[in-house]
Amino acid sequence: MPATELNAQIQEKSAHHLNWLTEKALPIWASVGRFEQTRGFAEAIALDTQKATNADCRARVQPRQIYSFLEGGKLGWSGDWQTISRAGYEWYLKIYFKPDGTVISAATQAGAPSDEGFDLYNQAFALFAFAHIAKTFDDLKDDALARAHALMDHLQETLAHSEIGFREDNPDRLPLRSNPHMHLFEAMLALENVEPDARWTDLADMIAELALTRFIDPVSGGLREFFDHDWSPMPGDQGRIMEPGHQFEWAWLLALWGTSRKEPIALHAARRLYQIGRTHGIDRERQVAIMSLHDDFSVHDPMARLWGQTEWIKAACVLACLSFGVEQTGYQEDIISACDALEEYNADVPAGLWRDKFEEDGTFKDEPAPASSFYHIVCAISQLKDYADTL
């Protein structure tokens, strides 16, 4: 396909998804996707009634939605994104944080803790929210950054692994996971952007090293999910799992980090991760990114979640920026394919909502639209717009 035609198609995709976000998705999640009294964010919206479900609200959803409205405002949404994000942040701080500054896992819609368990994943998203609040609101910046430092103090004092990275919530809990570290990496890069402090830079560099030396298999170049105490793969099938969506997501992050640090090893690893996700993780019939592979790249779980498609978009966009000629053309064609894949999930549903689980038989699981997907979608649309604006 000629370059001019490819560029035009990417720009059309960007405009389409941006319009869907600002005209359909943000309005419905700003209205029925929040609780009228508390202004906290709902866990999901039912596709049939287009109302929030009665489910308890996971801690990970609140910072993700805060980010989604902050980024939506930056992308041009005319709604009251500042009030929405501020109110959501206030609710989040009030309900989800323990006295030690860590985050519980879930609460009821009324604000009572329903799961006070610790999950490193949730702490990563708290740090992510602090970064974006600090970047956006001058009057909240100092407090948000102080909270970020206090939470990181706690994590380093109580959960630092003896070699590198972080343990789970106690010394014996297994498996150790790459996924929370991925979101810690994302949060460190966001904090580094708003507060050029050596602490965030050093932590980002440490997690990049962890990924390059432990998470990524030195032979295949694929990134694993689950690890033993010494960062070796967990025994059995669990240690063999590689998720195509995470190959893409780590490719995106390592490409951003590698570019900022001028680190060719990270850029090489990012391209290999992308190649694995693209070659082995895209179902030929459905043309979507599936859930997981074994470490020999055979299919482990053919379910295709929505978030995997958004990570495909993000990785293809950032690698297209770093490429030339035939290689760049390949990434650009993939941007269009990944956008097509994402569009499968919001077709034939109420405006601004989506389906999440695409089954192997070509049907979608009948369930409410999960709010947790919105962060993935918004981030992908933002990355897509950034790339389309360069063309």
What is the spatial distance between Cα 34 and Cα 372, in angstroms, rounded to a whole number? Answer: 13
Secondary structure class of 357 (helix, strand, coil): strand
pLDDT at 231: 98
Which pLDDT tens digits describe the chain residue by residue (391 residues)?
Answer: 788 899 999 999 999 999 999 999 999 999 999 998 788 999 999 999 999 999 999 999 999 999 999 999 999 999 999 999 999 999 999 999 999 999 999 999 999 999 999 999 999 999 999 999 999 999 999 999 999 999 999 999 999 999 999 999 877 899 999 999 999 999 999 999 999 989 999 999 999 999 999 999 999 999 999 999 999 999 999 999 999 999 999 999 999 999 999 999 999 999 999 999 999 999 999 999 999 999 999 999 999 999 999 999 999 999 999 999 999 999 999 999 999 999 999 999 999 999 999 999 999 999 999 999 999 999 999 999 999 999 9
Q: Of 333, 378, 287, give the one whose Cα is nearest residue 9.
A: 333
Q: Of 306, 317, 299, give the one whose Cα is nearest residue 377.
A: 306
pLDDT at 235: 97
What is the spatial distance between Cα 377 and Cα 311, in angstroms, rounded to a whole number? Answer: 9
Kindly report the number of other CB atoms within 10 A of residue 366's CB atom.
9
Query: Residue 246 carries which side chain, given as an amino acid letter?
Result: H
Task: Say how many CA atoms lie within 13 Å of 27 toward its Cβ.
Answer: 10
pLDDT at 240: 98
Q: Of 19, 7, 29, 169, give the one whose Cα is nearest residue 85.
A: 29
What is the spatial distance between Cα 97 and Cα 2, in angstroms, rounded to a whole number? Answer: 53
Task: Find all residues with CB under 8 Å of 125, minimum gap 6, and list them.
Answer: 59, 60, 63, 64, 103, 183, 187
pTM equals 0.98
What is the spatial distance between Cα 83 and Cα 70, in angstroms, rounded to a whole number? Answer: 10
Residue 176 phi, psi (nearest 5): -75, 145
pLDDT at 171: 79
What is the spatial distance between Cα 391 and Cα 57, in angstroms, rounded to a whole number? Answer: 40
Handedness of CA 125, 131, 82, 101 (dihedral sign): positive
What is the spatial distance between Cα 319 and Cα 328, in angstroms, rounded to a whole number? Answer: 8
pLDDT at 1: 77
Ordered by start, the domain boundaries in the chain are: 3-388
Element (H, E) at 115: strand 113-115
pLDDT at 172: 85
Task: Give strand pairing partners of 293.
Answer: 242, 299
pLDDT at 2: 80
Q: What are 365's two structure tokens?
A: 């699981």
Task: Find all residues with CB under 8 Å of 62, minimum gap 6, and list them.
Answer: 40, 41, 88, 91, 92, 96, 129
pLDDT at 370: 98
CATH of domain 3-388: 1.50.10.10
Q: What are 124's two structure tokens?
A: 């990563």
Which one-letter DSSP state was computed for residue 166? B
Is the peptide bond between 218 and the residue preceding it cis, with omega within 30 degrees of 0?
no
What is the spatial distance between Cα 338 and Cα 350, in angstroms, rounded to a whole number? Answer: 22
Q: What are 350's two structure tokens?
A: 């109420």
What is the spatial distance between Cα 367 and Cα 193, in angstroms, rounded to a whole number? Answer: 37
